[in-house]
Amino acid sequence: MTRAIRLLGDLPPRAVLAVFLGALVVRLANAYGLAGNAANFFREDAVLYWSAAQFVLDHGGFDPPPEGAGASGRERVPLYILFVAGMRALFGDSPIAVVLAQCAIDAGSCVLIMRLGAFLGPRIGVLSGALAAIWSNLVVHSAALLSDTLFVFVFCLALLGGARYLEDARPARALVAGLLCGAAIMVRTVAQFLPLAMAAAAPVVALVARRGLRSGLAASVLALVGAALTISPWVYANLRDHGVVALTTQEGVHLAAWILPLVRQSVDGTPHAEGAKLYRDRYVEELRAEGLDPERMAPFELSRRLSGKAMADLTAMPTSAVALAWAKGAAINLAAPGIALDPRIRRAREGSLYNDTKASLFGRLGGYFASTSPALRPLIVLGAVLSALTLVLQVVGFARLVRHRPWAGAAVFGLILYVLLVTGPIYSPKYRLPLEPILIVLTALGASGLRRRPHELALPPPSTYVGRAAARPEQAPRT
């Protein structure tokens, strides 16, 4: 309890409770509206997680028994699968039980976002929490049997760990941030390169906070050690059982079936599904010509082969096409309204933005709107308007942050750039979720200055921010 209070800082308990309960009510109401059809909870990869959880319950692990073959349970990292397996062990085959638990977890994420905003002042913290409580992308995904809700919660903890290291540059903070980042990687691999970025940034933060280079190097090592402690059991199991140092068997399919076809789409407009089939058929033929049967290959070996072939084709693409595909993906991921992924809206439209034959991005967006049921078009328009408004507020908030907390601004910019680069040309509001805690805080920061006079726009003085040593020069920094 004491640690929880310390984590929440000086936030008013009533405000914390109001944000948690408000967020919970919004998410429960959304889940109730979807509960009439269990298919509403099974979106995208949900069946994979649901069946993998049952496999864990049946076999006590992620791999088939000795008489089986392959590594089917290694297609995803384990924490969300274990979460679903635990819920199924407790409540049986009840998707709604998992969704209700996710609603509570996501309400907890709203409190963590509130705390993240409070690093910039209590007013910004409370506004961040209030925005998070009704943030459509969070609400929509809390009612899906996907890893996103659990990831956002754990990643918020990792962000708080990183923010606390920015406060005073103590190496112990870097260790905690590394551990939490490793836990986030075990929910979704999108964060897998962040420990390296943290290790690179730690000495710079330490020097700015006047902790000394030795302290910064220690923090760098501890951040990597923390992440390694969390990740290494899973990686070791893959090495022991399959002879591969890797997190999942997903890389080959990710490159060959998603990244490469979407880059090709930016070149000649080939719809994603058609491009993915062309590459898949060609790679299957090439593997068979090499004397290999893709259906019998070990999943890790198949992933390695597909990755090599896809990377060869990707590097042969014009650099301009790759850059354009990444730019389109970044633009959509930052601007697309989260409400577009609500299953009620998705059912009310035909076709797919990915598979539209129009070469131009704006042409495909127009087709998306035209193919949506007229009754729901106002919701799409409202979502787009709100998304545009929040994007403007985020830009304003980022400008304020850079002006008054330049090192925090650099960290935020680095995180946004990292997620957009890792996500690449794959676009959906879903892929913005790692950024949502930061974007919500930036929105609150931008909105908090709209009714203030110019001389009132400065943020509260950094009583701790990078760091205490810098804020209190009379105290000798520890080395």
Q: Which residues pair with 295 in a beta bridge?
A: none
**Residue 263 within any structural domain of the chain:** yes
Counted residue by residue, the chain has a size of: 479
- Residue whose C-alpha is closest to residue 423's, from 413, 414, 412, 434: 434
User: Are the C-beta atoms of residues 444 and 128 closer than 8 Å to each other?
Assistant: yes
Sequence-ordered alpha helix ranges (H) in 243-259? 251-254
Distance, in Å, from the CA atom of 428 to the CA atom of 76, rounded to the nearest integer, reads 20
Distance, in Å, from the CA atom of 311 to the CA atom of 294, rounded to the nearest integer, reads 18
* pLDDT for residue 452: 60
Q: What angle do CA 111, 404, 170 make, to 5 degrees?
A: 65
Q: What domain count does the chain have?
A: 1
* pLDDT for residue 304: 92
Helix (H, G, I), strand (E, B) or coil at 372: strand
* pLDDT for residue 367: 65
* pLDDT for residue 66: 52
3-state secondary structure 427-454: CCHHHHHHHHHHHHHHHHHHHHCCCCCH
Distance, in Å, from the CA atom of 111 to the CA atom of 34, rounded to the nearest integer, reads 25
Residue pLDDT, tens place only, 140-174: 999 999 999 999 999 999 999 999 998 888 999 99
- The chain-wide mean pLDDT, for the chain, equals 86
Q: With cut-offs at 50, 70 and 90, classify the pLDDT of residue 178.
A: very high
pLDDT at 439 over 80: yes
Task: Please state, for a pLDDT cut of 70, what percent of the chain lies above it.
Answer: 84
Helix (H, G, I), strand (E, B) or coil at 349: strand
* pLDDT for residue 11: 80
pLDDT at 85 over 50: yes
Distance, in Å, from the CA atom of 435 to the CA atom of 419, rounded to the nearest integer, reads 7
User: Are the C-beta atoms of residues 167 and 173 closer than 8 Å to each other?
Assistant: yes
- Residue whose C-alpha is closest to residue 38's, from 96, 100, 101, 97: 96
How far CA 342 is from CA of 134, 142, 366, in Å, comes to: 14, 11, 19
pLDDT at 69 over 60: no
Q: Could you tell me which residues come within 8 angstroms of residue 202 by beta carbon, excluding any fewer than 6 positions away?
A: 165, 169, 174, 216, 217, 219, 220, 223
pLDDT at 361 over 50: yes
pLDDT at 454 over 60: no
**Residue 306 within any structural domain of the chain:** yes
**Residue 443 within any structural domain of the chain:** no
Distance, in Å, from the CA atom of 222 to the CA atom of 214, rounded to the nearest integer, reads 12
pLDDT at 458 over 80: no
- Residue whose C-alpha is closest to residue 439's, from 138, 167, 194: 138
Q: Which has more pLDDT, 450 or 409?
A: 409
**Residue 345 within any structural domain of the chain:** no
- Determine the structural domain holding residue 282 and report its residue range: 249-317
Q: Is-above-0.85 flag for pTM?
A: yes
**Residue 287 within any structural domain of the chain:** yes
Within 13 Å and on the Cβ side, how many CA atoms surround 333?
Answer: 24
Q: Answer positive or negative: Cα dihedral of 36, 385, 324, 370.
A: positive
Instruction: Tell me the average pLDDT across 216-236.
Output: 95
Q: Which has more pLDDT, 162 or 368?
A: 162
Task: Please state, for a pLDDT cut of 90, what percent of the chain lies above it.
Answer: 60
Instruction: Tell me the average pLDDT across 120-125.
Output: 91
Residue pLDDT, tens place only, 270-327: 888 899 999 999 999 999 999 999 888 888 999 999 999 999 999 999 998 899 999 9
Q: Which has more pLDDT, 344 or 255?
A: 255
**Residue 259 within any structural domain of the chain:** yes
Residue pLDDT, tens place only, 197-214: 999 999 999 998 888 899
Distance, in Å, from the CA atom of 93 to the CA atom of 73, rounded to the nearest integer, reads 19
**Residue 307 within any structural domain of the chain:** yes
In DSSP notation, 112-177 reads: HHHHHHHTT-HHHHHHHHHHHHH-HHHHHHHTSSSTHHHHHHHHHHHHHHHHHHHHH--HHHHHHH
Residue pLDDT, tens place only, 5-61: 455 667 888 999 999 999 999 999 999 999 888 889 998 889 999 999 998 998 888
Q: With cut-offs at 50, 70 and 90, classify the pLDDT of residue 471.
A: very low
Distance, in Å, from the CA atom of 381 to the CA atom of 377, rounded to the nearest integer, reads 6
φ/ψ (deg, to 5) at 343:
-60, -30
* pLDDT for residue 469: 39
DSSP conformation class of 191: G
The alpha carbon of 361 is separated from its chain's Cα centroid by a whole number of angstroms, namely 24
Q: Which has more pLDDT, 104 or 62?
A: 104
**Residue 189 within any structural domain of the chain:** no
* pLDDT for residue 390: 95
User: Are the C-beta atoms of residues 158 and 116 closer than 8 Å to each other?
Assistant: no
* pLDDT for residue 381: 81
